[in-house]
Structure 1
Amino acid sequence: MHDTPPSTAARAIQALIVLAVAGLLALLAVTAAGHLAQRGIRSGFDFLLEPAGFTLGESLLPVDAGDSTLRAFVAGLANTLRLALPGAALAFGVGIVVGFGRIADNPLVRRLASAYVSAFRNIPLLLQLLAWYFILTDLLPAADAALRLAPGVYLSKSGLALPWWGEAGFELPEPAGFGIDGGARLTPEYLAMLIGLVLYSAAYIAEILRAALEALPPGQRLAALATGMTPRQAFRYVLLPQAWRAALPPVTSQLLNLFKNASLAVAIGYPDLVSVAGTSLNQTGRAIECLSIVIAVYLLLSLVAAAISHRLERRVLRGSVA
């Protein structure tokens, strides 16, 4: 079956609704600006070009007090993406592994996967983030007694030191004095957010995959085995492609939730977009403007993710029809 294209009348109605909403938002903005002007309160987005007045301790894009507030917002957005993008990839991978464990033949693996899902789904994410931050900052040893996880990899209260490229080439972190020199650092704030988001989101993804796999008729696995396939081949070539078609929409929705949940980073001091907006609000008093920037950015990210998800769904559905 093919979707019926919308009629001209339906498109006209949709356009009128969009114009009406845009007009209402413009009216609200003009009205709010007028009331603020009457009270002598500055408004507008000109503050973005003024000096930020604060620095970011952790950022891919360095920000000094003399840099513009716009640069600080861009740096905050970069920090959000630096957290959310690898978090989404890791959550997807962990979710697949745990989802397979939920339907494994080994009872011990099934119980462990079930316990993981139950624990991480039923504890609020904010509490998990605070718990991970406490573990990383209070229970780990100091930098001068860091745990050596692998050659050039050290974990301590100061974060995770990893091999990375420096000015002199590829550098391996090494203990030196009261800390670790060389390589790159992942701060405790970043690690706590990454671990918390990945483990929390992976629990939901695992359940989505389990439900999709168990919803398939059991006769399909038996038929695949009857053709000479091994259990692993039956799962990979017969069951998983069908389950993936049903699981794709809720999985992408959960990954989108991970992006939005990254806004909780302000609770443990990671300088993401929300944190920069809060600091700028305190510096300038432009509450409406700062909040509208955050809302607009997250709305744009959601729309982009939704468009990608819709495109993937259509491609998967075309493949199933073919």
Structure 2
Amino acid sequence: MSWDWQFYCNDTATGEAVAGCFGPGGKEQTYLQWMLNAWGWTLTISVLALLVALVIGSFIGIARTAPNRWVARFGEAWTELFRNIPLLVQVFLWYHVLPAFIPVLKSVPSSVLVVLALGFFTSARIGEQVKAGIKTLPTGQRYAGLAMGMTLPQTYRFVLLPMAFRIVIPPLTSESMNIVKNSAVAFAVSIPELAQFAQQAGEETSHFEEIFIPVTLLYFVSAFVVNRAAKLIEARVRIPGQSGAK
């Protein structure tokens, strides 16, 4: 098998070699620049979607454990809705269907719609994990917060959630890694991320092996860094008395 890695230094428009693998800027760029820009899009979408998922998932987890049955049912309905519809279908719904009912979405960039679709999809899973973390805490924790004069929202904010998040860091790590991998669905609506780069550049150059190997490694590196960062956070905030705690 003969591999040709030099094509990464070729200009994407003319196919001519560029010294140093970096084009002069503007619309002209090499395949290496294109891949790195695509990696930036993948990371940006992943980070923003994770922030959306964490914020909404926290509220859904609280709702699932709320004493008000209507709030709890809302949390359950949210979870079942977004967890049971395939992610790719949700992306298409945000991109093709919802703008017909919510006209303001027509002016929203497709990248934002993908972030919302991925964030809402993941929020249902994070909500379940936050709910599980809260339920593992002794019920006396909630009563103690209320007995100290805190309101129920304050009890969740200052007592229950800080401990629950420390408990569910391992599953949250998995969800963070999944977001990086699931961001590949963005290619379906022409977001210039890694999956879209791999498909389009492969068709243009026919160097599929040379393209998909680095792209796979970039996905691996991204997920691995998330995993290591979460492990460090877990070690620093682990609740004393848990397995492995000092």
d(CA) in 1 for partners of 2:43, 2:96? 24
- The equivalent residue for 2:187 is 266
Paired residue type of 2:207? R
Indicate whether 1:236 and 2:236 are aligned: no
Indicate whether 1:82 and 2:82 are aligned: no
Q: Is this contact kept in 1: 2:35–2:194, CA < 8 A?
A: yes
Identity %, equivalent residues? 30
Equivalent in 99, 123, 127 of residue 202 of structure 1:
123
Mark the runs of 5 or more structure 2 residues left unpaired by the alignment: 15-24
Q: 1:206 to 1:193 in 2, by over 3 A?
A: same
Q: 1:92 to 1:277 in 2, by over 3 A?
A: same
Q: Which residues in structure 2 correspond to 1:31-70 (within 5 Å)? A: 33=1, 37=2, 43-53=3-13, 64=27, 66-70=28-32
Q: Which residues in structure 2 correspond to 1:1-322 (within 5 Å)? A: 33=1, 37=2, 43-53=3-13, 64=27, 66-135=28-97, 138-139=100-101, 141=103, 155=104, 157=106, 159-160=107-108, 187=109, 189-226=110-147, 229-317=150-238
Q: Is this contact kept in 1: 2:166–2:239, CA < 8 A?
A: no
- The normalised TM-score by structure 1 is 0.66
Mark the runs of 5 or more structure 1 residues left unpaired by the alignment: 1-32, 38-42, 55-61, 142-154, 161-186
The CA RMSD measured in Å over matched residues stands at 2.3
Question: Tell me, what secondary structure is at the counterpart of 1:270?
Answer: coil
d(CA) in 2 for partners of 1:127, 1:205? 20
- Aligned length, in residue pairs: 233
Question: Tell me, what secondary structure is at the counterpart of 2:191?
Answer: coil
Higher strand share: 1
Higher relative contact order (CA 8 A, sep 6+): 2
Paired residue type of 1:305? V
Q: Is this contact kept in 2: 1:84–1:258, CA < 8 A?
A: yes
- The normalised TM-score by structure 2 is 0.85
Q: 1:82 to 1:220 in 2, by over 3 A?
A: closer
Q: Is this contact kept in 1: 2:52–2:116, CA < 8 A?
A: no
d(CA) in 1 for partners of 2:182, 2:35? 18
d(CA) in 1 for partners of 2:161, 2:78? 22
* Larger-gyration structure (1/2): 1
Question: Tell me, what secondary structure is at the counterpart of 2:168?
Answer: helix
Deviations 1:205-242 (A, max 9, x none): 11100011112222333344445555444433433232
Q: Is this contact kept in 2: 1:77–1:273, CA < 8 A?
A: yes
Q: 1:114 to 1:140 in 2, by over 3 A?
A: closer
